Amino acid sequence: MIPATFRHRALTAALSSETRRQISATSSVLLADVSVEHGRGTWKTYGDISTYRPGKFQIKTFNKISPLGLKKFPDAKYEIREGDTAANAHAILLRSHKLSEEEVPHTVRAIARCGAGTNNVPVSRMTELGIPVFNTPGANANAVKELVIAGMLLGSRRIVDGINHMKSLGEQGLAKERVEKDKAMFGGREIKGKTLAVIGLGHIGAATARDADQLGMTVVGYDPSLSIENALKLPRGINLSDSIASAIRNADYISINIPYIKGEGGTHGIIGKEVVSNFKPGAVLLNFARGELVDSEALKEHLDSNDGRYVSDFPDDLLWSHPNSVILPHLGASTEEAEDAAAAMAADTIRDYLETGRVRNSVNFPSTSLPDAPEHSIRFTVVTKNVPGMLAHMAEQFAASNLNILQQINQSRGNVAYNVLDVDISGHDSIVDFKEVQEKITMLDGVLSSRVIYGVPGTGYAKNLGGDYFV
Ligand SMILES: NC(=O)C1=CN([C@@H]2O[C@H](COP(=O)(O)OP(=O)(O)OC[C@H]3O[C@@H](n4cnc5c(N)ncnc54)[C@H](O)[C@@H]3O)[C@@H](O)[C@H]2O)C=CC1
Ligand SMILES: O=C(O)C(=O)COP(=O)(O)O
């Protein structure tokens, strides 16, 4: 069991000889000058020692993560453990698992979602705790786009009903006899020449718009925060609308490709009564984004009265058995290619953060990178609340220990600020005790956590848990 909080004790135990050996093996810094006691030999405070090998970063996984992605973590520095078997996780890698705060021990420095949507991760709470959450923009977009295109065909031709009918005839020995006669029951229409409205022109939406154009469709799009990168992917003929209502007005097909965001200003039920009542009769709604974006009651009325269709890979208690809906398991990103690409990108992102402090593809932390740490320097990273004066307070602590900052970067996003500081350790004739400096910095009011990126993997992390020092 991992204790909820852990009061700091004087950690006087010297490093074990094994830990010292590992430090020497992994660091080029002049160790004779520096005392860093983050190995501590007190792993039992982190959790069950039997599930952890000191000297390695432990990655806790949920869901089936592609082995190709996991191979990105070299055995020499990382061990991978599934769910509950990980007691001292330094990072979490997951897909759609609904993560609870209790599954995130104090040792966790970062969380990566192998995929796009992070609504299964308590992101705001993680921000309060100073933990960056990463995702993998675009890594699984092609897989989803292909299923959206397939979804348009499923919504146009009675393919599923036809398959089920043939299976049932086959069981009765009537398949051959009825194959021509019964086809009249399953007639459909073509997508060429029809209008597709794409709501959300991100990685998936922009690619869908481009391919639909290639298939001869008229494409209308709506995205109030369209990025330049995605704008460049759009087909020339796309008509950009200024609201969902105007985008869907003449659409035969509507694809929603936006994130699910709870709360005020979010996207819960964004395809609601008002929007659905303006659908064209017979319009097909494609939802490969999230079930909660759609008001099921309103959509049921559309399906009941207008011969509209719903195709989605999210479950819906009201609509799953409706004759006009095709509901699949959550399959959008379940291709070998997408699983490999998402896991590989997530693994690279986590490694970068753990090993260098770099932040990229985060949904709650600012993108941050410094050049490689200069020779004879040690890298500190500090996560703080985004309040005035933090930089000055930190600089004071370094100065008090006669430590010169060689380079630094400070970035903020929302309520959080992230600092990377490379501190000179050359020219010190006395032993510099980084543990003490780290404790002083970490316990400054407004600091959430800090790391000394140095030496033994999995060490050097400290947190300020509301005034309690956790190392
Ligand atoms: N079915 C599946 O297996 C998968 C589902 N998804 C879902 O699809 C969503 C989109 O994925 P990507 O395209 O990769 O993400 P993305 O971040 O590249 O694109 C999302 C786009 O939606 C836009 N947007 C946000 N709110 C909007 C609103 N209210 N109206 C119109 N546009 C809005 C954003 O500006 C952005 O351009 C994910 O958030 C996830 O929920 C993603 C991957 C797999
Ligand atoms: O990337 C996303 O947002 C998805 O919905 C994919 O989910 P999955 O990784 O297949 O469980």
Burial annotation 87-123 (CB, 10 A radius, 16+ → b, else e): bbbbbbbbbeeebeeebbbbbbbbbbbbbbbbbbbbb
Contacts within 8 Å (CB) and 24+ apart, 403-407: 403/432, 403/437, 406/374, 406/377, 407/370, 407/371, 407/374
pLDDT in tens, the chain (471 residues): 233 322 232 222 333 334 333 433 333 333 333 333 343 433 334 455 566 677 889 999 999 999 999 999 999 999 999 988 887 899 999 999 999 999 998 889 999 999 999 999 999 999 999 999 999 999 999 999 999 999 999 999 999 999 999 999 999 999 999 999 999 999 999 999 999 999 999 999 999 999 999 999 999 999 999 999 999 999 999 999 999 999 999 999 999 999 999 999 999 999 999 999 999 999 999 999 999 999 999 999 999 997 899 999 998 999 999 999 999 999 999 999 999 999 999 999 999 999 999 999 999 999 999 999 898 888 999 999 999 999 999 999 999 988 899 999 999 999 999 999 999 988 665 556 678 899 999 999 999 999 999 878 888 899 998 898 888
Q: Which of 61, 95, 148, 312 to mutate to test the pocket of ligand 2 (most atoms within 8 A of CB)?
A: 95
Beta bridge partners of 219: 196
* Cα separation, 137 vs 335, whole angstroms: 16
Residue for token digits 């897989």? Answer: 143
Whether the CB-CB separation of 378 and 422 falls below 8 Å is answered with yes
Q: What's the burial of 444, exposed, middle or buried (CB within 10 Å: 0-12/13-18/19+)?
A: middle
Cα angle 451-453-52, degrees, rounded to a multiple of 5? 80
Ligand 1 atom at shortest distance from the alpha carbon of 118: 39
Concatenated DSSP letters of 165-200: HHHHHHHTT-HHHHTTGGGGGG----STT-EEEEE-
By DSSP bridging, strand 195-199 and strand 253-256 are parallel
Residue for token digits 């970067």? Answer: 409
Instruction: Look at residue 432 and give its three-state secondary structure.
Output: strand
Whether the CB-CB separation of 259 and 289 falls below 8 Å is answered with yes
69 in contact with ligand 2, CB cutoff 6 A: no
Lining ligand 1 with CB less than 6 A are 115-117, 137, 140-141, 144, 199-205, 222-225, 230, 257-260, 267, 270, 288-290, 313, 330, 332-333
